[in-house]
């Protein structure tokens, strides 16, 4: 599903067959989850393949490396150029992009690595959580304590929390989990940010125990441009009783509606909510159908590969 015998991946400066990419059994990343990654999407647009917010994703990758003391030498511009080349070599326009910076050298210590490796993989991936509105359940697992790990960094090890929370919700027949933070406030999903709608306004968790997603920021901007008020605040699951709708946002999931959270069913169909309107605006933005705002166009142009 992710690769076939012809698929190329970028590994440490070379485009190689994905099926021969290897990692040492003694790699520090493999043993301790000491690695960082990104999830990015490229879209076919009228102007050709465009990586959505490549600059912001690769800046976050740098931030994640710094957060865990992983040395990393590639610039944002180099990473963006490599990604465009990789998409072209694999004949992909609409694609999911997974850069991973890992400590691949044999090293069983608990010290910062002195070097790192880079893998960039690309594949064709539909909306991660599907098209249908989701039935969520509040997870018995909390988001990791931000005083224990740099929660705003996309660190591989953090995703053990995501895997167990998501699997636990699915084992009880739900589509996905909704996680609370250490204080009992609603934080986010295992791989997506959460918004709810009430009285024609949107609410989402603030900085604290969440990854402030790039899709989340985009949705906040699109909403504000459309005159919709967005408030970042802490809220408990009880406060969701008055909500009329909710949705998840994330690069892989894009914008996906939520039909229910445990016993709470939203009566308004997702298609009639602000979330659905924003999902349309988001799609139009990423696929280049809307008149892109000058700053967005600039951002995209700034990170095109240098010929
Ligand atoms: N929260 C978590 C825990 C995630 O893994 C993701 C996906 N990167 C998101 C939120 C959404 O972030 P983004 O919109 O930047 O993809």
**Nearest atom (ligand 1) to Cα of 217:** 14
Whether 2 is covered by a domain: the verdict is no
DSSP class per residue in 236-283 = -GGGGGG-SEEEEEETTTEEEEEEEETTEE-SS-GGGSHHHHHHHHHH
The answer to whether residues 86 and 203 belong to one domain is no
CATH of the domain at 246: 3.20.10.10
The average confidence (pLDDT) of the chain is 94
Report whether 215 contacts 250 (CB < 8 A). yes
Q: Residue 7: pLDDT above 60?
A: yes
Whether 231 is covered by a domain: the verdict is yes
The answer to whether residues 265 and 170 belong to one domain is yes
Whether 129 is covered by a domain: the verdict is no
Question: Residue 259 has what pLDDT?
Answer: 98
Nearest residue by C-alpha to atom 9 in ligand 1: 192
154 CA distance to ligand 1 centroid (A)? Answer: 8
Of residues 153 and 304, the one with the higher pLDDT is 153
Per the annotation, the verdict on 154 as an active-site residue is yes
Dump strand ranges (E) for the chain.
8-11, 14-17, 35-37, 40-45, 48-51, 95-102, 117-123, 134-138, 176-180, 186-188, 193-198, 201-204, 230-232, 245-250, 254-261, 264-265
Q: What is the pLDDT of residues 224-279, one digit of tens each?
A: 999 999 999 999 999 999 999 999 999 999 999 999 999 999 999 999 999 999 99
Question: Residue 291 has what pLDDT?
Answer: 53
Which of 17, 53, 89, 154 is catalytic? The answer is: 154
Q: What is the pLDDT of residues 119-149, one digit of tens each?
A: 999 999 999 999 899 999 999 999 999 999 9
The answer to whether residues 64 and 185 belong to one domain is no
Task: Tell me how many domains the chain contains.
Answer: 2
The stretch 83-110 carries a mean pLDDT of: 98
Last-in-domain residue among 71, 89, 123 = 123
213 CA distance to ligand 1 centroid (A)? Answer: 5
Q: What is the pLDDT of residues 38-68, one digit of tens each?
A: 999 999 999 999 999 999 999 999 999 999 9
The answer to whether residues 117 and 219 belong to one domain is no
Q: Exposed, middle or buried: residue 246 (CB in 10 Å: 0-12, 13-18, 19+)?
A: buried
**Domain of residue 139, residue span:** 134-301
Question: Residue 290 has what pLDDT?
Answer: 74
Angle (CA) 185 250 286, round 5°: 145
Supply the pTM of this predicted model.
0.93
The answer to whether residues 141 and 250 belong to one domain is yes
Whether 306 is covered by a domain: the verdict is no
Last-in-domain residue among 123, 146, 168 = 123
Of residues 307 and 183, the one with the higher pLDDT is 183
């Amino acid at each position: 599903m992710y690769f076939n015998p012809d698929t190329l991946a970028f590994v440490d400066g070379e485009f190689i067959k994905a099926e021969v990419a290897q990692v040492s059994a003694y790699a520090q990343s493999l043993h301790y989850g000491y690695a960082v990654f990104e999830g990015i999407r490229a879209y076919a647009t009228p102007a050709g393949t465009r990586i959505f917010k490549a600059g912001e994703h690769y800046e976050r990758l740098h931030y994640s490396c710094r957060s865990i003391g992983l040395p990393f030498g590639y610039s944002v511009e180099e990473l963006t150029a490599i990604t465009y080349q990789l998409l072209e070599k694999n004949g992909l326009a609409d694609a999911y992009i997974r850069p991973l910076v890992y400590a691949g050298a044999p090293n069983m210590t608990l010290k910062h690595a002195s070097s790192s490796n880079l893998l960039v993989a690309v594949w064709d991936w539909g909306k991660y959580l599907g098209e249908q509105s989701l039935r969520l359940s509040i997870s018995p697992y909390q988001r990791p304590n931000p005083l224990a790990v740099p929660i705003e960094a996309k660190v591989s090890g953090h995703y053990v929390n995501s895997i167990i929370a998501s699997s636990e919700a699915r084992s009880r027949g739900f589509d996905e989990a909704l996680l609370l933070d250490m204080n009992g406030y609603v934080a986010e999903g295992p791989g997506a940010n959460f918004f709810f709608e009430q009285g024609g306004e949107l609410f989402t968790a603030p900085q604290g125990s969440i990854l402030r997603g790039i899709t989340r920021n985009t949705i906040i901007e699109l909403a504000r441009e459309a005159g919709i008020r967005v408030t970042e605040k802490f809220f408990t699951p009880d406060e969701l009783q008055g909500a009329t709708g909710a949705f998840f946002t994330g690069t892989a999931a894009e914008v996906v509606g939520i039909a229910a959270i445990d016993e709470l069913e939203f009566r308004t169909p997702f298609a009639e909510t602000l979330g659905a309107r924003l999902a349309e605006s988001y799609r139009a933005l990423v696929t280049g159908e809307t008149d892109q705002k000058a700053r967005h166009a600039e951002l995209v142009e700034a990170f095109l590969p240098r010929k």
